[in-house]
Amino acid sequence: MKKIHLPRSNGCIRTVNVQGDKSLSHRAVIIGSLAKGVTRIDNFLEADDTLNTIKVYKDMGVKIEKKGASYLVHGKGLNSLRQPQEVLYTGNSGTGIRLTLGVLAAQPFTTVITGDKQIVKRPMDRVMEPLMKMGAKFEAANNLAPVTVYGGNLHGMNYRMPMASAQVKSAIILAALHASGDTVITEPVKSRDHTERMLKYFGASVSVKGRKITVKPGVQLKAKRVFVPGDLSSAAYFIMAGLMMKKSIVTVKNIGLNPTRTGLIEVIKKMGGRIRITNMKNRNNEPVGDIVASTSNLKGITIGGALIPKLIDEIPVIAVAAAFATGRTVIRDAQELRFKETDRINTVVTNLKRIGIKAEALPDGMVIHGNGGKPFKYADIDSFGDHRIAMAFSAAALVSESGLLIKDIECVNTSFPRFFSLITSLEGKK
């Protein structure tokens, strides 16, 4: 089990280029595999999760190759996938397995799909149940992977989602591309819309009105060139470090600023953080810009409701910033955290207590009592094999009395292989 000691920072002025967005990298491969022609993906995230997605679609007969710094996906259209000769393996990726369940539900063959030791503990019923309403059939002991998928002959439906989830919604949309008849999905609150945006870019008939998404099937997707912007979830650790460290300005370049993902920026502004966005532009139907974060006096706030789906992956590092703030922060309506790579409510609270912060777990969130900007006490931090826990507390190390020891750091390779080389650039060394 690898570990790293990250020392306290004396502050810095740095520009950081983070990796391509993981959500968009997954979707570019999946949608490119269903399109007709060669899709070129630039700034693709090369991490375990996304490379496993590439292998899954290669195993279903799609030619995918790296050429220079780009990936080329040679798609043959919606109905061109072939039955794999072996079990499909998605590794640690919840996005990879859940979105692919939607694709497999529509295929005229039987498939088995699974993941690593953490994925096989994550419930799949929230994806399987709506797909079964469309005519798909599954076998999964206790609703867990491995899942056997008996696909094909799907019909459209009207579906009202019981809770907001971009992964569940995306699985239904991908299945609906192949169905007989229109599919209408209504969300309780709007969640990430990368799938809808990218499918429109590829020519699909997907319309969005408020919280209602309508998918008309049978429209052939056409290959496109995709630039993957920087991942806001990955940028979050550097942004929060810039806010917490003394005498610091951290600029993160070319970040995706999809409005369904910018809850982090809304929260930072409510906490009194000094943050601004520059160089705005549009790339393949996604807004992109630079984010500049400066030393701030943060204050505790209440976070919940419709804001949660816009920042669900950033809550661990938001919790760290809340611990460094003045006053109490309450996070509610985030029960989705209990079904991530770990139960992130418990793992965040456990590690906050280790660094001297008073915090309580709630069924759907947590209460954090900020220390008013005082350095965190030294502790050994257990990532519990969860990449976002490891990275969130790496940001905390920079404003700790004598840094922190982060244990079990191999998990970071699933989403951000260059993370530790970049975070150590904020240590303030000249």
Residue ranges of alpha helices (H) inside 66-193 are 94-105, 125-133, 166-176
Task: Please tell me the predicted confidence (pLDDT) of residue 119.
Answer: 94
Give the tens place of pLDDT for each residue, 109-128. Answer: 999 999 999 999 999 999 99
Dump strand ranges (E) for 236-350.
249-256, 274-283, 286-294, 302-303, 328-331
428, pLDDT greater than 70? no
Give the tens place of pLDDT for each residue, 393-423. Answer: 999 999 999 999 999 999 999 889 999 999 9
Section 218-232 average pLDDT: 96
Please state the pTM of the whole predicted model. 0.87
Cα 225 from Cα 183, distance rounded (Å): 27
188, pLDDT greater than 90? yes
Domain boundaries, the chain: 3-20+229-426, 22-213
> Residue 72 pairs with which residues in a beta bridge?
40, 65
Give the tens place of pLDDT for each residue, 22-51. Answer: 999 999 999 999 999 999 999 999 999 999
66, pLDDT greater than 70? yes
Fold annotation for 22-213: UDP-n-acetylglucosamine1-carboxyvinyl-transferase; Chain (3.65.10)
> Residue 70 pairs with which residues in a beta bridge?
67
Task: Please tell me the predicted confidence (pLDDT) of residue 427.
Answer: 83
Catalytic residue numbers, as ranges: 313
Task: Please tell me the predicted confidence (pLDDT) of residue 199.
Answer: 98
**114 sits in which H/E element:** strand 110-114
Give the tens place of pLDDT for each residue, 305-362. Answer: 989 988 999 999 999 999 999 999 999 999 989 988 899 999 999 999 999 999 999 9
Lowest mean pLDDT across 98-102, 186-190, 238-242: 186-190
CATH of domain 3-20+229-426: 3.65.10.10
Mean pLDDT taken over the chain: 96
**CB atoms inside a 10 Å sphere around CB 305:** 10
Task: Please tell me the predicted confidence (pLDDT) of residue 430.
Answer: 39
User: Max Cα separation, the chain?
Assistant: 62
